Structure 1
Amino acid sequence: MKAMVIQGPNLNMLGIRDPRIYGPAKLETIHQNIKQHAEQIGLEVDFFQSNFEGEIVDKIQECLGQYDGIIINPAAYSHTSVAIRDAISAVNLPTIEVHISNIHSREDFRHKSLTAAVCAGVIAGFGPMGYHLALQGLVQILTELNAIKEARKQAAAQNAQPQQ
């Protein structure tokens, strides 16, 4: 199983930007920890970060056929980007949205996520541990989807056998 972790704008500033809200860890450290946890649960992960909406849309589209799922922190674009929402919807890959801070305890404009409705789930407010929770959730979703595919394949094979 393979997943892409996509990080949105300003997340490259983690460790510098408002550590009271986002914590002291740098993005590179968070990615190292994600990679270690992913290996422990049998998931291969790659990482991408951009401050540009179009690059994030391109990366989501590139995931189609290359990855089994996406973990995304759209950051500020969660609240504004119909384009990112449409890209997530178009690729139809299991996607989990992560926010380091609790967006519901912050400014009113952060309470609404345009992207959340097209994601399998949203994790917010657990700091970098939210990515680990997302990994667990994604593995569970992918395991269930694989079981459904296998059951359908077996049922189709049984139905294709000649009746006696």
Structure 2
Amino acid sequence: MKILVLHGPNLNLFGRREPHIYGTTTLAEIDGQLAALAAELGVELETLQSNHEGDLIDFLHRNIDSAAGALVNPAGLTQHGVPLHDAIKAMPFPVLEVHMSNIAAREPWRSHSIISPAVKGTLQGLGPLSYLLGLRGIVALAQQAAAG
């Protein structure tokens, strides 16, 4: 079972960017924690970080027939990524939205996600734990979908 992890714009700066909001954990550390958990859960993980919406969409399209689920942190595309929203809706597998911070507790313009209506659920505000709980959740959802 293959699970995708998509990290949106500027997330390559985790650990450096606004540590008072996102903490000091780097993206490489998050990916390492996810890889360890994926091994424990017996699933294959394929990750991509891009500062370009089209790259994230292309990644979903390339894996449309081979992935069982996806975690997406749309980052700055959360409020404006209509093409990403549409690509997620086109996927035949479950997708969860994750955020390190609680977007509802930040600036008012951040609190609305146009991605949320396209996904099965959202985990936010838990730092790196949002990703780890998201991986457990997406694996469980993918297993349910496979069982019919």
Q: Distance in 2 between matches of 1:42 and 1:30?
A: 18
Deviation at 1:47, TM superposition (A): 0.8
- Partner Cα separation in structure 2 for residue 65 and residue 106 of structure 1: 37
What secondary structure does 1:79 align onto?
coil
Query: Structure 1 residue 107 and structure 2 residue 127: aligned?
Result: no
Q: CA deviation at 1:92?
A: 2.7
**Counterpart residue number, 2:139:** 139
Identity of aligned residues (%): 37
Superposed CA offset, 1:46-67 (max 9, x none): 1100001111111121120121
Q: Read off the aligned partner of 1:32 and give its amino acid letter.
A: G
Q: Does 1:121 align with 2:118?
A: no
Query: Could you tell me how far 1:43 is from its partner in structure 2?
Result: 1.6
1:90 Cα deviation (Å)?
A: 1.2
Q: Where do 5+ consecutive residues of structure 2 fail to align?
A: none
Contact 2:3–2:139 under 8 Å retained in 1: no
Alignment correspondent of 1:161: none
CA distance in 1, matches of 2:30, 2:73: 13
- 1:29-56 superposed Cα distances (whole Å, 9 cap, x missing partner): 1100110011111221011000011111
- For 1:6, the equivalent position in structure 2 comes to 6
In 2, Cα distance between the equivalents of 1:45 and 1:70? 9
Q: What letter matches 2:56 in structure 1?
A: I
CA–CA separation in structure 1 for the residues paired with 2:53 and 2:2: 23
How many pairs were matched up?
148
How far has the Cα of 1:20 moved from its partner? 0.7
Q: Map 1:15-164 to 2 at 5 A.
A: 15-148=15-148
Where relative contact order (Cα < 8 A, 6+ residues apart) is larger, the structure is 2
TM-score normalized by the length of structure 1: 0.88
Query: Could you say which structure has the larger radius of gyration?
Result: 1
Give secondary structure in 1 for the equivalent of 2:78.
helix
Supply the distance in 1 between the matched residues of 2:146 and 2:95 (Cα, whole angstroms): 16
Residues 9, 76 of structure 2: 8 Å contact kept: yes
Q: Which runs of 4+ in 1 moved over 3 A?
A: none
RMSD: 0.8
SS of the equivalent of 2:3 reads strand
- Report the TM-score, using the length of structure 2 for normalisation: 0.97
